[in-house]
Structure 1
Amino acid sequence: MHITRNRPESRSGPAENFTGSVWLEEIAVPPSPSRLRMFDVRFAPGARTAWHRHPHGQVLHVSAGEGLVQRKGGAVETIRAGDTVWIEPDEWHWHGATPRTFMTHLAVVEAAEDGTTTHWDAHVGADEYPTAEHPAADRHPAT
């Protein structure tokens, strides 16, 4: 057993992978042979990931606030504190805060054999992201 008693340093989410203010803390990286990775991710209102996928899928557990998640071809879904989302392996998706609220979630992934956890793609455009004038319920699925 190993107990880590210090919090990791917060780091800003890189602009090539995120829109808006996003803060990441890598809170679990067990030694090999484990490939588990766990992050605490905080999104400011309007902040979100770019489209991406994970080789072994991803679990998101919303710990505070309200956010949005969408898989390619699906509707934008609202997620709230206490909700858990399972994203299938290699399923293109994005997630982030709503336009008016903060959102924090734990993100759990398993690295591929080569150590890769995420494949990134284009940013979520203004035409895809819900706004106060066009809420999630009104958004057409991305194709």
Structure 2
Amino acid sequence: MVTARVATLSDSRIKLMRLIESSSRSPSPVDPDNFVLSGTFQRLLGPDDDMPVRLYRVYFDPGGRTNWHRHDDFQLLLGLSGTCSVVDRSGHELTLGVGDLAVIGPDEEHWHGAAPNTRGEHLAINLGLTTIWLESSA
């Protein structure tokens, strides 16, 4: 049997298995410079974790959503509770329910948040390292 391991970071920095307890990553209010209305943001894997992926749990109050933005690589959004909307510049809208997964390509300008008149929560998985924030989506 052949076993292969691919890594983008030096082996001395990689921990092959570890637990990051949710309680060690405190939720905080979303940044009003990048979000419309209120919500909660929990950074589960961020820039300080030496990982080639970013992982964020985001809870949106009714009407809450991100500003327009794009990413340097794929973004995956996994619905956790309520209903979320994902909208691109052409107005194409995806409705994300619990367990649904939205796949957003690199450099696709979009916003996401709670569907109209409801709350929504998703897990954002950013395969790249950079988010470029644009104008308000309100």
TM-score bracket, normalised by the shorter chain, equals: 0.7 to 0.9
> Structure 2: which amino acid aligns with 1:124?
S
Structure 2 vs 1, CA of residues 75 and 9 (structure 1 numbering), >3 Å: closer, same or farther? same
User: Partner of 1:123 in structure 2?
Assistant: 136
The count of corresponding residues between Structure 1 and Structure 2 is 120
> Structure 2: which amino acid aligns with 1:22?
G
Of residues 59, 64, 69, the one that matches 1:52 is 69
Is 1:77 aligned with 2:90?
A: no
The alignment's C-alpha RMSD in Å is 1.6
Cα deviation, 1:61-116, whole Å, max 9, x if unaligned, reads 0010012111111422322111100000010000110231110000001334xxxx
In the TM superposition, structure 1's runs of 4+ consecutive aligned residues that sit over 6 Å from their partners are none
User: Partner of 1:5 in structure 2?
Assistant: 21
User: Partner of 2:122 in structure 1?
Assistant: 105
Larger helix percent: 2
Gaps of 5+ in 2: 1-16
Q: TM-score, normalised by structure 1?
A: 0.77
Cα distance in 2 for residues equivalent to 1:6 and 1:48: 23
Decide which structure has the larger Cα Rg and report it: 2
Gaps of 5+ in 1: 126-143
User: Partner of 2:58 in structure 1?
Assistant: 41
Aligned-pair distance for 1:31?
A: 4.0
User: Partner of 1:130 in structure 2?
Assistant: none
